[in-house]
Structure 1
Amino acid sequence: MAVHNDLGKEAEQLAKSWLETKGYAFVEANYRYKHAEIDLIMTHNGIMIFVEVKFRSGTGYGYAEEFVDYRKRQLIIRAADHYIFAKDWHQDIRFDIVGVYRDRRGHIAFRHFEDAFY
């Protein structure tokens, strides 16, 4: 597996653990539908949340939310629609982005964008 894939999986695990400390409940990871993948599916206060996780080793090339373009958002929405139908979910949903940042010293920081798109 390529290094960027390893970093992505590590970032997803860090984001999952961090969200759990904020009271989110883990449902599923890496849900795939056709060409789309949802990194994390969580619930919080009765809302199902589809989370896109982005890892950055700095902000020199931009922030995490800047890398979730229109095409990526459409793929995530399509996969979420499929998941909602398959699970017969009839309550609210939300799409979040969690940026996981590691500085030069290895310190981890998070940026959470609730209700980032739809």
Structure 2
Amino acid sequence: MGKHNELGKLGEEKAIAYLQKKGYTIKYKNYRYLKGEIDIIAQKENILAIVEVKSRTNAFLEDLSETVNPKKIKLLVATANQYVMENNLDLEVRFDIVTVLQKGTQFQLEHLEDAFYHF
């Protein structure tokens, strides 16, 4: 497995632990539908959070929240819609990003709620 894949998996694990500490229940990890994939589906009260995890080392100094392009958003929306229909859910759906920045052996996480809007 490539280093970026290892960091991605580790980032998702860190994001899950972080969300659980914030009171979220993890409903699904790596949910796939057609060409789309949702990293984490989490719920807190009446909100279903569709969470995209972006993991980087400090070698990448880009704004991680801006790395979700319109094509990715379209795939996330279609995949989230499938999950909601498949599970017959009546919840508010929100699209979040959790950024995971690795600095040596330390990790810095940030949770951006309502990171982008769907149409």
Match of 1:116 in 2: 115
Match of 1:20 in 2: 20
Aligned residues: 117
Q: Structure 2 length normalisation: TM-score? A: 0.92
Between the aligned partners of 2:2 and 2:58, the Cα distance in structure 1 is 20
1:1-118 to 2 correspondences below 5 Å = 1-58=1-58, 60-103=60-103, 105-117=104-116, 118=118
Q: Which amino acid aligns with 1:30?
A: N
Q: Structure 1 length normalisation: TM-score? A: 0.93
Between the aligned partners of 1:29 and 1:60, the Cα distance in structure 2 is 25
Deviation per residue, 1:37-93 (Å, 9 max, x gap): 000000012211110000011274402111111111111011001111100011211
Instruction: Give unmatched runs, 5+ long, in structure 1.
Output: none
| Superposed structure 1 runs of 4+ greater than 6 Å apart | none
**SS of the residue aligned with 1:23?**
coil
Instruction: Give unmatched runs, 5+ long, in structure 2.
Output: none
2:29–2:39: 8 Å Cα contact kept in structure 1? yes
